[in-house]
Amino acid sequence: MRKNIRLAALALAGTLALTTLTACADDAASSSGGSGSDAAAGSGAAAGKTTKVKIMVGGLDKVIYMPAMLSQRLGYFQAEGLDVTLLSEPAGVDATTALVAGQVQGAVGFYDHTLDLQTKGKHVESVVQFSQAPGEVEVVSTKAAGDITSAKDFKGKHLGITGLGSSTDFLTKYLAVHNGLKVSDITPVAVGAGATFIAALQHGSIQAGMTTDPTVAQILDKGTGKVLYDMRTPEGSRQALGGLYPSSSLYMNTDWVNGHKDTVQKLANAFVKTLRWMSTHSPEEIAAKMPADYAQGGAQLYADAIKATLPMFTTDGVMPADGPTTVESVLKAFNPNLQNATVDLSQTYTTEFVKNVH
């Protein structure tokens, strides 16, 4: 667990960015329309005072980040006395940028960014670990399937990622290096997710790429591509990356966490409750709670996408014991910043709040 880091500027942090971000307001508006019927009676909101928090998500409609919207739809934030605005960016790296810039109080994205940021002098930590596997899938276009049968065949290919510096970028480079190639042998192409990723695969702009559900489900349903590496399960993570790879999480600036422990605890309460709810309900029940427009390929296909990704999630928000070392090993395989740096993994996450959830 991390060491407490208290900075003299904490007195100013509470005033940071309670201003309103209008970007992606459609995501924030849709997040407020969920049912609160599952929230406990006598919630913290009953006192009439709520705490405002803004969280940037690296793609609200991605199944790997589902706990963010689902917590809102279940009414668990409100039950804790929180007024949470969920904003969306197409890639986790963009969510991280918003967090570091002080535009939001929290980000939902991949845990691996906390290690990368530490080498740049930024102290950010995961406070709720949603997952124990990446939830990512490397797909190859049907046209290129004969030429690309493993990462050894990535040389000279254009490979789709959500964005440069994103976790899909990290993992793609690792697969290449782990299979005997150099980073310079491949060409990462930022194509986002969803329709833009699918179009790039169909039109040959990329021959393969890394994405998540529901995009994966749509690709397979249309016959546009095939699965090359499936990292939606702990087993798939171990096979491709050598161990559990904690990915989607709520991470926050460490100084903000130390100065707002009560708020962070309430967020942890809501998210852990959501993870528990997910573990006891069917994919169809989960899908029914999410915004209807998330099911781009139809209700059943969306439920199938959730079913395929559910194994990646934790049920308690606790960081897997060996997860951080696996992430460090993966990043050091190709990232010169980490290869030449000593990372204090204890400062990249905390279990303080999730272990206090009753």
* Antiparallel, parallel or unpaired: β 208-211 and 248-253: unpaired
Report residue 16: phi and psi, to 5°. -65, 120
Cα(277)–Cα(256) distance, integer angstroms: 28
Instruction: Provide the residue count of the chain.
Output: 358
The answer to whether residues 237 and 217 touch, using CB atoms and an 8 Å cutoff, is no
Cis peptide before 134 (omega within 30 of 0): no
In this predicted model, what pLDDT tens digit does every residue of 247-260 receive, in sequence order? Answer: 999 999 999 999 99
| Element holding 125 (H helix, E strand) | strand 124-129
How far is Cα 266 from Cα 272, in angstroms, rounded to an integer? Answer: 10
Local structure of 226: helix, strand or coil: strand
The full set of domains in the chain, from first to last, is: 10-133+246-356 (3.40.190.10), 136-231 (3.40.190.10)
Q: Give the closest residue to 107 by CA, choosing from 72, 51, 137, 65.
A: 65
Average pLDDT value for residue range 278-294:
97
pLDDT reported for residue 38? 42
Is residue 328 predicted with pLDDT exceeding 80? yes
The answer to whether residue 151 scores a pLDDT higher than 90 is yes
The per-residue pLDDT for range 16-67, each reduced to its tens digit, is 333 333 333 333 333 333 334 344 333 444 446 899 999 999 999 999 999 9
More confident residue, 73 or 43: 73
More confident residue, 124 or 14: 124
Cα separation, 176 vs 150, whole angstroms: 9
What's the average model confidence in pLDDT over 180-209?
A: 97
Per residue in 213-243, pLDDT (tens digit) is: 999 999 999 999 999 999 999 999 999 999 9
What backbone phi and psi angles, to 5 degrees, belong to 340?
-105, 15
Which among 232, 218, 93, 237 has a CA at the least distance from the CA of 175? Answer: 237
CA dist., res. 14 & res. 206, Å (int): 45
Q: Compute the distance between CA of residue 96 and CA of residue 21 in angstroms, rounded to an integer.
A: 16
pTM of the shown model: 0.84
**pLDDT tens figures, 107-148:** 999 999 999 999 999 999 999 999 999 999 999 999 999 999
